[in-house]
């Protein structure tokens, strides 16, 4: 995923929010009809402002970039690499989720990945001191505690910004739930556009609330337990610490 795809996803994110807000303002929802229209306008303005701030807080955050090696680390990593074998993605002992589109680097064994035996990523040359450090092919850098690369945010989610991502997902779910509420208030009210658009937007908001709600719960639990989704997938498949059964 290159710079164009990231910019395109960013534009789509803004278009979806602006289109959704415009639709709710055109329909006879509580944003247009009722005695507390101004209060509803303030509520939506505050919610969207928090959503935008949470979005850009993650977008411009450091996910936990692995640092470049020092000369001493490079020499020590070469010695560790010669003494300890690595598992390549083509190896049948590696589970399929390791070789997904976000992880293109070979994984080293637990014995090689510790604080005393630094390993250099074969793709970007950064230090990989922890088993959870993974190379992101989109960013072409290694990330500590790599969870995934978010297309909408254009950044990796890792150890240092996972909590920000969990907050953003929670805020985004709340915004969509608020949109669902306003679409519900428009249903059944007479409108020159008919009832179809109100029910269509209500159905769309409902479809978005479910996955966002699931992601919110999942990532909040991951942050609270100090794990990431790749580690949980690894535990479920018996892949622990970079080698099966270790």
Same domain, 166 and 119: no
Given this model, what pLDDT does residue 141 score? 86
Given this model, what pLDDT does residue 197 score? 79
- Higher-scoring residue by pLDDT: 33, 62: 62
Last residue of a domain, one of 144, 169, 188: 144
Same domain, 8 and 56: yes
Given this model, what pLDDT does residue 75 score? 58
- Model confidence pLDDT, tens digit, residues 14-60: 999 999 899 888 888 888 887 888 999 999 999 999 999 999 999 99
- Higher-scoring residue by pLDDT: 158, 67: 158
Same domain, 137 and 163: no
The model's confidence at residue 74, banded by pLDDT at 50, 70 and 90, is low
Same domain, 131 and 161: no
For the record, the structure tokens of 243 come out as: 């080698």
What average pLDDT score do residues 140-150 get? 89
pLDDT tops 90 at residue 126: no
User: What is d(CA 171, CA 129) in angstroms, rounded to the nearest whole number?
Assistant: 33
Residue 36 DSSP SS3? coil
- The pTM of this model reads 0.77
Same domain, 24 and 84: no
Last residue of a domain, one of 144, 170, 205: 144
Given a contact cutoff of 8 angstroms between Cβ atoms, the answer to whether 185 and 193 are in contact is no
Given this model, what pLDDT does residue 69 score? 67
Last residue of a domain, one of 98, 119, 144: 144
């Amino acid at each position: 995923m290159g710079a164009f795809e990231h910019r395109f996803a960013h534009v789509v994110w803004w278009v979806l929010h602006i289109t959704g807000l415009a639709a709710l303002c055109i329909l006879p929802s509580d944003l247009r009809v009722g005695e507390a229209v101004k209060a509803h306008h303030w509520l939506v303005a505050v919610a969207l402002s928090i959503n935008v701030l949470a979005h850009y807080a993650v977008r411009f955050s450091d996910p936990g970039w692995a640092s470049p090696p020092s000369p001493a680390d490079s020499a020590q990593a070469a010695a560790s690499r010669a003494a300890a074998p690595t598992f390549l993605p083509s190896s049948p002992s590696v589970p399929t989720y390791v070789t997904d589109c976000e992880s293109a680097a070979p994984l080293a064994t637990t014995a090689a990945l510790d604080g005393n035996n630094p390993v250099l990523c074969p793709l970007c040359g950064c230090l990989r001191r922890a088993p959870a450090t993974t190379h992101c092919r989109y960013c072409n850098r290694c990330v500590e505690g790599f969870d995934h690369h978010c297309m909408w945010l254009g950044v990796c989610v890792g150890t240092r910004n996972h909590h920000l991502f969990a907050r953003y997902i929670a805020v985004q779910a709340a915004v969509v739930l608020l949109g669902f509420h306003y679409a519900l208030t428009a249903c059944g009210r007479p409108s020159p556009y008919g009832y179809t658009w109100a029910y269509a937007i209500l159905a769309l908001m409902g479809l978005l609330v479910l996955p966002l709600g699931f992601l919110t719960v999942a990532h909040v639990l991951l942050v609270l337990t100090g794990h990431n989704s790749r580690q949980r997938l690894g535990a479920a498949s018996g892949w622990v610490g970079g080698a099966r059964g270790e």
